[in-house]
Structure 1
Amino acid sequence: MSLPEPVIRPDAVDHYDRLLSSDALPSDSFCLTAVRGLGVDEALTRFGGIPRWREADLGETGVRSVNAYPDELLTVVAGEVSGWVLLAENNGWHGAKADVLQQLSRDTVVASAFWNVNFHSTLSLACGGELLGAFDFVIGTERPDALLPYLDGLAFDDPYRKCAESLAFVERVSGTRLTEEWATTPHQASAIVDLRRFLPKDPTVWLRSNEPELLDWAATASSDDVRAAAAETARAACAAVDIPAEATLDDVRRDYTRTLQLRWDRCAPPDPALDRIAQLQASVTRHRTEPAEERLAEKRAHARAAVIAARCDNPVDALAAARCNAVRAGRAR
């Protein structure tokens, strides 16, 4: 599969600098991903979103994400432009993750740009399910060969224009321009259902940091005893939320999706018809009100994930992952 020829427009960096300076685009934390030739529904599905879920513009999704804090609400806005789907995240980074780009780029091409207030940044190019290269444009790491045709003339030496240059990179790959009209118009919008929070890559790291005594015990106990402890952890987590100790990944996804649906609704922007004092009062009320149904759905997602974790082939990993999810179920506020 061939990569597209670079589309270099001389005004691209100035265009994005203007949008960022005017707050038409998020300047603090933003991720823009472009994928070629997919429908919006397919792009959202591959990305971890839910097609036909909601409609919103970038500004609204950013407000909902901030209103959710300290809870997590990752959101994406998706719309088609000239044969490419743009996936835009206000205060997100999902499109900067290697496995997401690999999944999204199956049989096609993907480019993404990401930065946040902590000076983390990435430009990425993926094709045919393979990440061809990634470049940290803030630190200025070595530029991968695959990205060079699209980076020609982008110096990334002006700290005030680096983010604009990163968006110009996505435009050069896709040939599509992210406009102010696109950014401020409602498109398909979704929470991102990322199940990795339930499936820690190395659960023993979590156990070592949080319950080192249990990890020490597991290192010397028999496999049967460790396996039994994992199963009991999962059983207790499920009993605490009145569900049977049996689960599939689809069960976890269903509960977590419900969590995010309720969180999205809870974190709506203030009614613009209200005066500032009334908006502030509404915000205080939202933060003080316990979202019981949302918390229960989240607890159940983690409890079911503990059941799945307890089946891991390695008994120590099974115990560690089960404990991780059981503790998170208990901490769901």
Structure 2
Amino acid sequence: MGGVAGSGKSGGINVLMGNLSACQDVVIWAIDLKRGMELQPWASCIDRLATTPDQARTMLRDAVTVLEARAEWLTANGRRVWDPTPEHPALVIIVDEYAELADDAPDAAGDTDSIARRGRAVAVTLIAATQRPTQKAMGKGAVRSQMDVRVSFRVRERKDVDLILGQGMLSAGWHAHTLNAPGKFLLSAPEHDTPRRGRAYLLTDAAVAEAAERHAATRPALDEVSRLALDEARMAPVSEPSAPVTPSQEDHAETALREALDGAPDEGLPIAHLLMITQLSRPTLYRRLAELVKSGRAVQVGYGSCN
């Protein structure tokens, strides 16, 4: 999904979020590197929201873990396709401003490629939106080639039409550079092969808030297959960071961790919060949490949170 600023791309994402959040067989993960500005209104319907490059890397790595676990489960059960249900939901990852991800976390390209190539059968879907449809942002690998549903809002230059919709689309009559009002778009998909203009509904802030509140209560949880795979990956033994940690730093981190866990609410504390207050590296924190869980001094209440 692409288009310049003011073309209605954000409105299109709101329409998409409104529909996805109403589906009780879809878990939504989202990446918004504008510190959550665009997708925060839907936070109550989003299972995980990444707003920094590090969080985005972790989320995409976890998505690959999920798709691999689901693939193994399908094979073990003699099945070829993950059929979404509320108990076994699809996983949809929305990346708002994909160009920022390409700039700030280029090392995540391997994971996005893997999701694009292997995600369909296991119901792990990537949706990328950008207002900067550069060659670098759109890429030349699997991410671009595997996206057979493409939406172009107004673009500034004629060449951007081919970057979003595919090579030769401008010559074939897909003139997204002539779209003349916010929200107007061209949709290219297997069942939409004619350049016919459409227009996204405009959802006001009040409508978004009302929809998010209404749908939040019916959001499904991630399936057990995926949760167990993430738990195992998070708590697996990892190597220590190369930089030495002094005894005083260890004491401070241990004290901060214990105080945080002692005062944690019933729903636990997110890993991102524990990383911030302890200043530990992610591998060290996961190792320490695994030790506390094993000894019964902490409880993992969900993936990415402990108390």
| Fold conserved between structures, TM > 0.5 | no
How high is the TM-score relative to the length of structure 2?
0.36
How high is the TM-score relative to the length of structure 1?
0.34
Greater Cα radius of gyration, structure 1 or 2: 1
Q: Whose helix fraction is larger, Structure 1's or Structure 2's?
A: 1
